[in-house]
Amino acid sequence: MTDGKRTPWVVGVSGASGTPYAASVLRGLLAAGESVDLVVSRASRLTLLDETGIAFRDAHWRDDLGEWLARGADGKPGTFARPDLGDVRYWGAGDLAAGPSSGSYPVKGMLIVPASTACVAGVALGLSKDLLQRAASVMLKERRRLVVAVRETPLNGQTLKHLVTLDEAGAVVLPASPAFYAGATHIQDLVDFVAGRVLDAAGVPHRLYRRWEGELGGSRPRES
């Protein structure tokens, strides 16, 4: 909050595989007491349905989001307690008159997680074909924080050029690439590592993963 005014993070969810990454980032932001403006692309609804079985509906977005955030990375319902969504605002992907479409709308920055190659291309080229791309373009023109968690492999030359363009424009390009030094024992640990790195890039405090402390084997359990 700034001067009593709500100043959210915009979270954009594109159609790439990796909706558990988005859920973990959202839980992390809410746990840190951050306000969130959520944009879910049309393509991401298909991915969300495929990966979780949840049909994300505009008219029932709060119920659907609560169910989504309560699921673990393995799709198991009730893994997490439903968070308080009182400071979450949802904008339809086709609403180009939405708050985040304007540079005068106060936000802290934007996190695109996961970011598809189509989304990356659209932002790099300034297409603004939907609210997600337009909001990202606003972040760049206003010199605000933009983190792009690209989720695709392998990457072709054109996408690599688009990622370089975003980097040169000031965005943080963050591949959804989990590490193993944090002692992961479950798929959720790997997901939380990537989500934690996204929050690190945004400067949002969290406890999603065990940080490197300069000790080899520090993540392994101690032998008695």
pLDDT attached to residue 224:
45
pLDDT attached to residue 213:
84
Residue 218 zone, left/alpha/beta (φ > 0; ψ -120 to 50; rest): alpha
The structure's pTM equals: 0.95
CA distances from 224 to 87, 120, 221 (A): 46, 49, 9
What does each of the 224 residues of the chain score in pLDDT, given as a tens digit? 445 689 999 999 999 999 999 999 999 999 999 999 999 999 999 999 999 999 999 999 999 999 999 999 999 999 999 999 999 999 999 999 999 999 999 999 999 999 999 999 999 999 999 999 999 999 999 999 999 999 999 999 999 999 999 999 999 999 999 999 999 999 999 999 999 999 999 999 999 999 988 888 776 665 54
pLDDT attached to residue 223:
52
pLDDT attached to residue 6:
96
Closest to 115 in 3D by CA, of 91, 150, 146: 150
Closest to 39 in 3D by CA, of 121, 138, 177, 117: 138
Distance separating alpha carbons of residues 154 and 65, to the nearest angstrom: 30
Q: Write the pLDDT tens digit of every residue in 2-30.
A: 456 899 999 999 999 999 999 999 999 99
The DSSP secondary-structure symbol of 2 reads B
pLDDT attached to residue 3:
52
Distance separating alpha carbons of residues 20 and 57, to the nearest angstrom: 18
